[in-house]
Amino acid sequence: MSLKFSLILALCLAVVAISNAERARYDNYRVYRVTASDAKELAILKTMEDTSDALIFIEGVHSVNRDIEVVVAPHKIPDFLKAMGDNEIDYVLLENNLQAQLDDEDKEQIKGRAGGYDWTAYQTLDDTYNWLISLTRLYPGVVTLIEGGKTYEKRSILGIKISYNNGNAQKPGIFIEAGIHAREWIAPATTTYIINQLLTSEDAALQDLAKNYDWYFFPHANPDGYVYTHTTNRMWRKTRQPHGICYGADPNRNWDSYWGTVGISNNPCSETYAGPKAFSEIETKSLSNYIKSLEGKIQLYISYHSYSQYVLYPYGHTNQLPDNVADFQSVFNVTVDAIKQRYGTRYTGGNVYDAIYPASGSSTDWAYANVGTRMSFCLELRPGPNAFVTGFRLPANQILPTAEETLDALVAMVNKVKDLGYFK
């Protein structure tokens, strides 16, 4: 072996070693489900969430008598169990070794560079961006590329507009945003499937849908986070801007809509950290500026997340209902029915505050209150509730069925919003 070749080989091996070493591992981390039966127990869990990095409350600590999932680092297990016992907080062990779950590579596949773009596996950010760019070449005059903003790590927040020139200059606008939470991979995958169907389907109803609206799609509202879930930590949720000793703010708590009031944390290490101020994250700041530039043009806004199978509408900051709640409820009803048709998938939901938990500063609440968008929804896609931490790792063979039923739901939503007279 030549010296040059051995050096290159050694370098390659070193790079592999570094990238493996840098990937977060959860060997012997346990996953528990706990329930606070009163305000005192809830306060104890909240304090634990805010003070210990060795306890990861997967979706935050929200309300009494609800399942709360927590990942416990191995060295913390005895203290954690003692604290549960001392305070009589009920708990169940869900998983003994989280890493073993994460290692189960067969379930969740990532597309290699060689393969074409499809929905049999999850795609990287670069592959999706290249695919979006390719659409502008395949559909000139129909698909335009939009840079909705920048990220902390200087990536673009790329989106596309689909607008068929059918002589109708002013068409109603529909805005779809996904991937604001990095680890919720099914949301961007579903969004790109919807884009593809609107452009290629032979189905007359879908073609009408494509042609009669101006569509704005942002499959990755949090690109830095998404890349981080591929390179370093599959369970990452937030942005990547440093805040003190920790990284990232929850981009779905960072919008300027009752920012920082309820359902948030002020601790930069928490999964629901709202950031130091509204729009502290360049991602939400710049994407909201872009949305603001469309003020009056967007009648329907949808944010795709996972998981738990919910259809949600405003508000998150209060249990007061929006003035057009009756319309929200009728769109909700047709959406849930449409999702059930194809594969029997059951969704529930309602207004965020009552249906799941208080949460202020979300994109859907902001769009509802700030840019004249009277119909604004958040969908939590598959799997259903109680899937615990691996719920974010929906097996790749469920991308297509999830995307199909979500498109069925979208058709029903748009038609209902139209019947209700919101598209002017």
List interacting residues with ligand 0X9 (CB under 6 A): 59, 181, 184, 252, 303, 305, 312, 316, 352, 359, 362, 364-365, 378, 380
What is the distance between the alpha carbons of residues 19 and 300, in angstroms, rounded to a whole number?
42
Ramachandran region, residue 350 (left: φ > 0; alpha: ψ -120 to 50; beta: rest): left
The partner in contact with residue 192, picked from ligand 0X9, Zn ion, none with C-beta cut-offs of 5 to 8 angstroms by kind, is none
Q: How far is the CB of 242 from Zn ion (least distance, A)?
A: 22
Nearer to ligand 0X9 by C-beta: 213 or 315? 315
The partner in contact with residue 362, picked from Zn ion, ligand 0X9, none with C-beta cut-offs of 5 to 8 angstroms by kind, is ligand 0X9
Q: How far is the CB of 252 from ligand 0X9 (least distance, A)?
A: 4
Catalytic residue among 108, 184, 281, 380: 380
Q: How far is the CB of 183 from Zn ion (least distance, A)?
A: 8
Q: How far is the CB of 157 from Zn ion (least distance, A)?
A: 17
Element of type H or E holding 79: helix 77-86
In the DSSP assignment, the letter for residue 151 is: -
Ramachandran region, residue 309 (left: φ > 0; alpha: ψ -120 to 50; beta: rest): left
Question: Is the distance from CB of 189 to CB of 117 less than 8 angstroms?
Answer: no
The SS3 of residue 334 is helix
Question: Is the distance from CB of 330 to CB of 212 less than 8 angstroms?
Answer: no
Question: Is the distance from CB of 309 to CB of 345 less than 8 angstroms?
Answer: yes
Nearer to ligand 0X9 by C-beta: 131 or 259? 259
Nearer to Zn ion by C-beta: 62 or 305? 305
Residues 6 or more apart in contact with residue 165 via CB below 8 angstroms: 141, 142
Q: How far is the CB of 305 from Zn ion (least distance, A)?
A: 3
What is the distance between the alpha carbons of residues 409 and 80, in angstroms, rounded to a whole number?
42
Count of beta carbons in the 10 Å neighbourhood of residue 284: 28
What is the distance between the alpha carbons of residues 180 and 151, in angstroms, rounded to a whole number?
12
Element of type H or E holding 365: helix 363-370
Q: 105 catalytic, yes or no?
A: no
Nearer to Zn ion by C-beta: 184 or 283? 184
Nearer to ligand 0X9 by C-beta: 164 or 315? 315
What is the distance between the alpha carbons of residues 118 and 306, in angstroms, rounded to a whole number?
20
The contact set with Zn ion (CB under 5 A) reads 181, 184, 305
What is the distance between the alpha carbons of residues 110 and 124, in angstroms, rounded to a whole number?
7
Nearer to ligand 0X9 by C-beta: 176 or 352? 352
Q: How far is the CB of 184 from Zn ion (least distance, A)?
A: 5
* Catalytically active residues, by annotation: 380
